[in-house]
Copies of this chain bind each other. A is one copy, B any other.
Amino acid sequence: MKALKGAVLLGQSGGPTSVINASAAGVFLTALDNENITGVYGGVHGIKGILNEDFYDMSKENRYELELLKNTPSSSIGSVRYKLADPKVDDTDYKRLLEVFKKYNIRYFFYNGGNDSMDTANKINEFVNNSGYEMRVMGVPKTIDNDLFGTDHSPGFASAAKYVATTFMELYHDATVYDIPQVTIVEVMGRHAGWLTAASQLAKEKGQGPDLIFLPEVPFDIDLFNRRVKEVLKEKGKVLVAISEGVQTADGKFIPELLGEVKRDSFGHAQLGGAAHVLAEDVEKNLGVKVRAIEFSLMQRSAAHLASRVDVEEAFNAGKLAVEHAVAGETGKMVGFKRLSSKPYKMEYVLLPLSDVANTEQKVPLEWILPNAEGLSSEFVDYALPLIHGDAGVTYEDGLPRFAKLKKVRVPKIK
């Protein structure tokens, strides 16, 4: 198919990762070098930026700073949590998007995000192309949760996994240093899928990880938890626990709900987080030993200094390939990863229909999860270990990371 003459627009969406900007660098740098592309824009706060005709002109940035984006955490052009309605129910936003795409002659739209974002990209692709306006829409995957369907893994996961495994190894040394009984409970992000919590198994493989690992894939049983903590404490004098923020009991209760008070947001949804603190108080009360709760909080998704080289490269390439394939004629696809082998690690990039990816969650296979919270099987280790390899090559200045500084020049609004 013929390349379309027009502008490229990238939107970033959802929670940050260490490498979402690496994908942006892949999109921007590839697009800036392509003769068919007449403008390279970044949507200010994702889809909201499009609705507001609010774009950064990436051609005004220094090439060096765009290169530094590869190692700059989070979303440099701003993210958003905005879910478009189903166009069959309410197509107001879609009409507006189409209007803006036309007005600025945007012919390539790239959306970098997780499940929801791939659903959004899919709907935009269908709506816009059904309207007769020719535009190519490609999804670029991104999530520390690693729950995107159809791809072997997603950019962002590997770096977060490296953070989790490395930090567990370091905490292991800290949490076992005194000759007193001690329980340390560490909470890891992951709403429905336990991939990131499972990464603590990589530390366990080195003999420097958690004793017990609790994933949301397995219904949480407080009696099992208490029994196992007591057993390990008796045997070793120290217990290190990895627990996903998203674990729930068989009847759907999160830990704060199970053991204490639950905080609700303005929509009445139970707020996650706090599982470790609530459990720690309970264990301290029950066992009378020193207990510490630790949350990896935002660090696990923004520790770019500890990103995996594999992850940074794959994230960059996902952005790059999205542009190349779109220019070559593809639309409605997400760049995915297909693993060819784990030892040695070999992967090929594939294109997946957005409609297949959207809204389906990929969880840790139950057969990889050992009973009694013992951790993960060797299948998981073989899967995850190759992904965390290599130093991401952060540039340092004064002993601190030199992150990208963008000028953020706005594209003038067309009257």
Contact = CB atoms under 8 A, between A and B. Distances in A.
Contacts of A389: 398-399
B305 A400 contact: no
Given A78-B178, A178-B79, A389-B398, A403 B173 contact: yes
A400 B298 contact: no
Contact of A74 (B48, B173, B292): B173
A174 B388 contact: no
B80 A173 contact: no
A179 interface: yes
Interface in A368-391: 385, 388-391
Given A173-B74, A174-B302, A294 B292 contact: no
B302 A48 contact: no
B403 A208 contact: yes
A265 B305 CA distance: 37
Given A74-B177, A202-B400, A170 B294 contact: no
B390 A399 contact: yes
B179 A78 contact: yes
A175 interface: yes
Interface string A291-307: 01011011101111110
A106 interface: no
Interface in A62-82: 72-76, 78-81
Quickly give the copy total for this chain: 2
Contact of A48 (B167, B179, B297, B401): B179
Interface in A166-210: 166-167, 169-171, 173-175, 177-179, 184, 202-203, 206-208
Given A294-B297, A298-B292, A305-B306, A73 B401 contact: no
Contacts of A295: 294-295, 297
B299 A171 contact: yes
B390 A177 contact: no
A305 B175 contact: no
Given A74-B174, A292-B298, A399 B388 contact: yes
A165 interface: yes
A396 interface: yes
A107 interface: no
A45 interface: yes
Contacts of A332: none
Contacts of A301: 174
Contacts of A331: none
A16 interface: yes
Interface in A270-324: 292, 294-295, 297-299, 301-306, 308
A162 interface: yes
A-B pairs with lowest CB-CB distance, top 10: A74-B173, A388-B399, A174-B302, A389-B399, A170-B302, A45-B179, A174-B298, A79-B177, A294-B297, A74-B174
